[in-house]
Chains A and B, each alone.
Chain A
Amino acid sequence: MQVFFSIGVDALAYGMVLFIISIGLSVTMGLMRVVNLAHGAFAMIGGYIASYAARDLGLGYGFAIILAVIGTIVIAIPLERFLYRRIYGAPELTQVLMTIGITFCVIGLANYVFGPTLKTIPLPADLQGPVNLGFRTIAAHKLFAIACGVAVALGLWFLIERTSFGVKLRASVDNTAMAASLGVRTRIVYAASFALAVGLAAFGGVIGAELLPVEPYYALRYMVTFLVVVSVGGAGSIPGALIACLLLGAIDTTGRYLVPEYGEFFFYLAVIAIVWVFPRGLLGRAK
């Protein structure tokens, strides 16, 4: 029983970290229909800004997070205006080539500016160290990550399903020309959702930095995992991404706990099985 709870807590924490980082990608891929392979690069930029703010400028953790999100969006705005706007609705291959190119540029720049060493984001005292749950101890920042994941999931669901912005976004995506003729300023809607996705990436990069440390190759190293989450959950679906993260987190953690010698066998077995049964992902929308 104790083992069961122990695995459960670890799985929840890992799943939530995955969720926070991947959900932005789900928004760009599912709602904006852009295969954004530079998503990891934006998460990494967020991590670098937070690390710089907290370590070199001595700002608090909260300020570092806000600065990371805003800073990454500011960097992303010209990219959206001059690069991404050209590839909305373009064939997937064009999108893949351009965004992977951006990723390589960001890796090179990060290597040049910050150097190849690991960068950490110092946590405030409250989030450091272990918390005793009775049956075991868990890192305080993992509990914080779980809370952030829940908040992000609820907030996004509300924004997309319950606000007028969400309605306009879904309308613009489903039929840009029709939405525009009804008076929706689709360019602004696209720019705003791109900023939202990038901001979520940066937020995830900072919150997840304890598990996925920030270094120049972050941008590519974890991209496969993010893409797997989106394809299993169904691009564009927030509940789908949440279920996918919790499911994959649970499978990965259980496998690692009970039979580590099998490596990631169970993780990818589950991915194959799910995608086989649900080709659009668990809750993917039909085109």
Chain B
Amino acid sequence: MKKLILAAAAAVLLGGVAYADVIKIGVVGPFSGPFAIQGKNFKAGIDAYIATHGNKIGNDTIEVLYRDVPQADPAQSKALAQELVVKEGVQYLAGFYFTPDAMAVTPLLQQANVPLVVMNAATSAIVTKSPYVVRTSFTTWQTSAPMAKIARERGIEKAITVVSDYGPGVDAENAFKTTFEKEGGKVVESIRMPLSTNDFSPVMQRVRNSGAQAVFAFLPSGPTTLGFVKAYNENGLKEAGVQFLAPGDLTQESDLPALGDAALGILTTFHYAIAHDSPENRAFVEAARKAIGNPAELSFPSVGAYDGMHVIYKMIEATGGKQDAKKAVDAVKGLAWESPRGPVSIDPETRHITQNIYLREVAKGSDGAYYNKEIKTFEKQPDPGLAAAK
């Protein structure tokens, strides 16, 4: 009799599990340390998506687990991803702010039967490392190449590139140089600065002496950007009419209050501005600001995370909550939707996001706050970086 009751109880329990699963998503990102603000933005984007779309798909409940990798650390990132897959049983991996972290996880995906949705890491090659990688952020090539076209349109013949000497900086340099020279311009000099550079005055003197009409720059967002933009103004380059061009990482919204007037007039190209004018974006910004707490901290990784969640929700719908990485990834190939940043789609070939890239100018609003004002749209841009690598 006792056995029967136990068996019945077990059957009820097991049955219950079969009807309503908990589907776990493991998110790896920098949630503490110098890049904590970017991890906060991941979380804000994810929370905003769950707040507006609910945490249930059918009968299944979505649970998000966060793991912290404070700085680029491939070994740690891989260990945490393994722990998430093996111990926690996550069906999806997501997040990843740094390229090396995402790269380190790609060899696990096939055997683990888990898709990876990259919410930031911006080196083109990540998607080629495993067929289970989908990216919803951008690549440095994607955001930098249109800038070269703008420069040519504005009659700039000679430009100089100044980048921080690390992967994304070199990517940005190559993207700008290749496109600019294809369009008939000339890059007179390419300067690579060590990441730890604090005093940019000597660099600005070189820019000035080079006789270039424009400087294309890329630095990691954060403290160095501030020094760089100030040095640009203080060494008289702005007055001399040397145009400042950069991808939007340099003028991310959370840095703008510190940059202040020094940033006015800087031209950037990027996939997302918080000031983007659309009903989808207004709803997103409201939800994400609520999620992040301090509205001044909201920045671009949040939208990569928000759209990443959209892709994962679609994958879960397509697989009915069963773990099947191939089916999940196939289901979102070619998926198109209206993101807060504008119309986007997942390229079926590369599994990278095709999106509009906007030309923006840093402007001061009527309320005294600085924002990225969108002034031109390049529609449906694929990632030119993969083609260039071939």
Contacts and interface: CB of A to CB of B under 8 A. Distances in A.
B263 to A, nearest CB: 12
A213 B258 contact: yes
B37 interface: yes
Contacts of B294: 115
Interface string B198-218: 110111011001000000000
Contacts of B165: 261, 263
Interface string B177-216: 0000000000000011110111101110110010000000
B227 A211 contact: yes
Contact of A215 (B193, B223, B260): B223
A218 B54 CA distance: 40
B192 A120 contact: no
B205 A257 contact: yes
B226 A120 contact: yes
B132 to A, nearest CB: 32
Nearest to B231: A139
B196 A264 contact: yes
Interface in A194-225: 210-213, 215-218, 221-222
Contact of B222 (A119, A138, A215): A215
B199 A118 contact: no
Nearest to A214: B223
A117 B205 contact: no
Given A14-B199, A212-B198, A117 B297 contact: yes
B107 interface: no
Given A116-B297, A130-B234, A256 B226 contact: no
B206 to A, nearest CB: 6
B202 A130 contact: no
Contacts of A139: 201, 230-231, 234-235
B257 interface: yes
Given A117-B257, A129-B234, A210-B230, A260 B205 contact: no
A20 to B, nearest CB: 14
B235 A118 contact: no
B257 A257 contact: no
Interface residues of B, number: 39
Given A213-B227, A215-B223, A260-B191, A116 B199 contact: no
Contacts of A215: 222-223
B223 A213 contact: yes
Interface residues of A, number: 38
A6 B205 contact: yes
Nearest to A218: B223
Contacts of B194: 260, 263-264
Contacts of A210: 227, 230
Contacts of B57: none
B388 interface: no
A10 B198 contact: no
Contacts, number: 110
A233 B147 CA distance: 46
B36 A253 contact: no
A117 B36 CA distance: 10
A19 B196 CA distance: 18
A217 B235 contact: no
A202 B191 CA distance: 34
A213 B205 contact: no
A187 interface: no
B198 A118 contact: no
A256 B197 contact: yes
Contacts of A129: 233-234
A13 interface: yes
Interface string B252-280: 00110110100000000000000000000
B220 interface: no
Given A10-B199, A14-B199, A217-B34, A118 B234 contact: no
Contact of B296 (A13, A117, A212): A117
B37 A257 contact: no
Contacts of B260: 120
B343 interface: no
A7 B239 CA distance: 21
B234 A256 contact: no
B37 A116 contact: yes
B295 to A, nearest CB: 11
A260 B40 CA distance: 34
A163 interface: no
B67 to A, nearest CB: 19
A215 B334 CA distance: 42
B236 interface: yes
A119 B258 contact: yes
14 contacts: A111-B36, A117-B254, A118-B258, A129-B233, A130-B233, A139-B201, A210-B230, A217-B33, A222-B198, A256-B197, A257-B202, A260-B193, A261-B191, A261-B192
**Which 7 residue pairs are nearest across A and B when measured between Cβ atoms?**
A139-B234, A263-B194, A118-B258, A257-B202, A137-B236, A116-B37, A217-B34
